[in-house]
Structures are given as structure tokens and as C-alpha cells.
Structure 1
Amino acid sequence: MTNQEHAPVAIISRNDETRLGTPLLVFLHGYGSNEQDLMGLSQHLPEEFTYLSVRAPLQAGPGYSWFPLTQEIDYSIDAVAHSVQALWVLLEPLAQQHSSVTLLGFSQGMAMATSLARYQRDSIDAVVGLSGFAVDPQPLEIFDDAKLEEYPLPMFWGRDLADPVITQDKIEYTLAWVPKHTELTSETYPQIGHSVCMEELQDVAEFLNTVVLKKN
């Protein structure tokens, strides 16, 4: 892996006037993947949304990452902050063109989705996290968790309890964080490992219909 940073790259499901005023859902892929990876999920999710899939900025093998990882799946808080702020620079002008903004992150992408919501709570309507975690911010001033305690974040979290990739310390931190900061819908899916299944996508679609679309 190199730490070379690339200019933002994103693909969008529709890029004409029909997207204006629609709810926006932003896909944030996992470590070592790219913007093409999650876009196919949109065919199983509500058609009312405009779907935007963003490529992470750092090269990671054949794919990309939001922030560097070690073999123990640790991370640099400073790198998380930099990546979150850069992502918001990309999304902020788009957010103003849509009725709501929902973030869907897989694995490291869930860390980014929850982090961006902790940075810009007023602009993020909901988060879907799949097989991932929330970061322990330590001394990170850009996160406003007090705001989320006052206005909890609607969140769906789906995972396999036996996920072989996300380390237990990160799961434990996330389990402690979500009750105080989110309105959580939590589901588990045995034997999917570190992946996504059709049952999970059906549950995500129901969450989006109930929590996001009914408020638009």
C-alpha cells in the first residue's frame, strides 16, 4: 500500500435535473475496494433515491482506502479527520441539491459514515453501517458527539457476530457508542462473515423506506 492521495472520484446513478430534490444515498466502500463495488446494491434499494458512490482517496493495493490500516486494522485518528473533512468538501454542494443525505458504508466505509455524521450531524439524515465499526476518536475535536446525544442519529447496523475481519475492540467500542448517540436498528446475519446478504439488503430497504423516505 502507498499513502498517495488521489483526487476525488465518484459515480452517480443519475446526473440530470431528475435528481434535484431527491433523497441522496452515498455509498462508502471498504478497505482495498473502489467506487464500483457498492453501486450494484442500489438495484435492491428504493428507486426514489439518487445513489452516489465515492472512491476513497488513498491507494491500497489494487483498490483504495479512506485511511491507512496496519495488519491489526488500526488507524490514525489524524488520517480519519483529514479524510472526513475532504469527503465533506465533495458532498456539501451536492447535499444542498437533495432533500436528504443518507450514508451507507461497508467495513471501513461504516467508520467513515459514522465519522462524517459525527462531524456534520445537521446535514446527515441517517447512516447504514454494514460489517463495520465506529472509530474511537480519542482527542479529535471535529467530532461533536454531544450533538448526537441531543439529536440521536437514525442508524441501521447489520453484521455477522462472527465477522472475522473487524477486531473485537472495535466492536466493543461501537456497541458502547451506539446507545448514547443513535436511534439504532440492529440486525445480525449468521454465516455471512464479512459480507452482505440479500436478507440484509431487504432490511436496509425497509429502514430507508421507514426512516428516510417517510420524512421526505
Structure 2
Amino acid sequence: MDTTPALDAAAVRWHGEDDGRPVVVLLHGYGSDETDLIALAPLLPDGFAYAAVRAPLPMPWPQPGHAWYPIEGLESRDAARTTEAAHRLLEWVETTLGADRSVGLLGFSQGGAISLQAMRLSPARFDFAANLSGYATPGVLPGDAALADARPPVFWGRGTHDTVIPEPLVAHTTDWLPGHADLVGRIYPGLGHAVSPAELDDLRVFLDKRLR
């Protein structure tokens, strides 16, 4: 039985006209919420509508915020729970945006991992993904072969001083992503587990190209 609840449709924050234009779904990181990444939306191309969703799991009391999947120590990341959360995201996309809407994903940290996992579960559903300080979950999913054939555009940015994502996951992502995506990879010297102005500039260029 799944232990990850559905996303809260009432918690979604929108930016931009919801007039049928392409949507970028924003997926926050561990311990944050939907108010986090929506603050970046005014700095991103206005040809998209942006929808910031809230992760489905409350943080353990007394910590604020929400999570996509539990973490007990930096080395403990259950791939099954990551996949469950990606399924919940897919359900929200189908229910809220429908089957024909053009959709891209933009996630930070845990949200970045979920963006790639959702794309692996449904390779034809998403036009692109941006993975900021996240990673690709180890293991094999049924959609991996189709994803490798389609090679959708994926932006992956990370800092040289990011000590939150374990090195084995960074190494796995470095090996896995080029074979499954049209990868735009950027490494930012001195950046920790965060988003820098330079990364935002690169992200804007990536999103602008998706509009063209």
C-alpha cells in the first residue's frame, strides 16, 4: 500500500497567466514548501505559467515545511518512496493540467530528484526538466528505455561545495543522465546547496530555448 498521500491541490501557488500557455511545475526541496521556488518565477521567462506545488509529507515535528520522501541521515534515500512521490506528482499533473498541456519540471534538491523520477515514469508527458542541486535516483524503471530514445532536454546545475547530496549519487547522476537526456550540465565553483545568480542566468537561457 502506498504511504505517500496525494498532493494538496489547494496549496498550489501560480505565477503568470493560466491561459493555455506551457506550464513549468516547481518542486521545492526538503523542509520547504510551495512559497519557496515561486519566488523565482518573476525572474524566469514569462512565456510560461509557473505552478509551485507542495510536497505531500509533513516534516517530523517540530520541523516546519514538507518533504517529497523521508530522509534519515544523508545516506538514507529510499528509491521506492521517491517513486511513490513521483506518481503523486503525475496524478496531480493529469488531474489539474490535463493530458494535452505542455509541461516542464523544475525542481531543487529533493524536487530535482522527483522531476527526473517523474520523467522516467512517464517519458512522453514532460517536455523538459531542470534539476537544481538534485540527482537521479539509482535503479531501473520501466520508462528508462523510452527516455533514452526520446532524450528530452534536461538542465542539471550543482555547486562544487554542495555537501548535502552524497558523492555516490552525484557520480551516479553524472554517469546516468547523458545516456537518458539531452543534457545541459553546469558546475558552479564555490556554490553550496543553493541557487546562484549565475545558475539563474543559465536556467533562463535553458527555458528560453524551450519556448522557441
TM-based fold match above 0.5: yes
Question: Within 5 Å, which residues of 2 pair with 1:34-49?
Answer: 34-49=33-48
**Residue matched to 1:56:** 55
**Residue matched to 1:187:** 186
**Residue matched to 2:120:** 118
Partner Cα distance (2:69, 2:164) in 1: 16
Deviation string 1:17-60 (CA, Å, 9 cap, x unpaired) is: x4232010011000111110111111110011100001101111
**Residue matched to 2:13:** 11
Change (3 A) 1:6 1:123: closer
Indicate the SS of the match to 1:19: coil
Letter in 1 for 2:194: S
**Residue matched to 2:139:** 137
Instruction: Give the superposition deviation at 1:98.
Output: 6.6
Question: Is residue 155 of structure 1 aligned with residue 157 of structure 2?
Answer: no
Change (3 A) 1:155 1:37: same
Partner Cα distance (1:131, 1:79) in 2: 19
Indicate conservation of the 8 Å contact 1:127/1:156, yes or no: yes
Deviation string 1:43-96 (CA, Å, 9 cap, x unpaired) is: 110011100001101111201110111112422222122211111111113433
**Residue matched to 1:93:** 95
Indicate conservation of the 8 Å contact 1:20/1:98, yes or no: no
Q: Over aligned residues, Cα RMSD in angstroms?
A: 1.8
**Residue matched to 2:164:** 165
Deviation string 1:3-25 (CA, Å, 9 cap, x unpaired) is: 885751311124xxx42320100
Taking structure 1 as the reference length, what is the TM-score of the superposition? 0.89
**Residue matched to 1:201:** 200
Partner Cα distance (1:165, 1:45) in 2: 26
Indicate conservation of the 8 Å contact 2:74/2:164, yes or no: no
Taking structure 2 as the reference length, what is the TM-score of the superposition? 0.90
- % of aligned pairs identical? 35
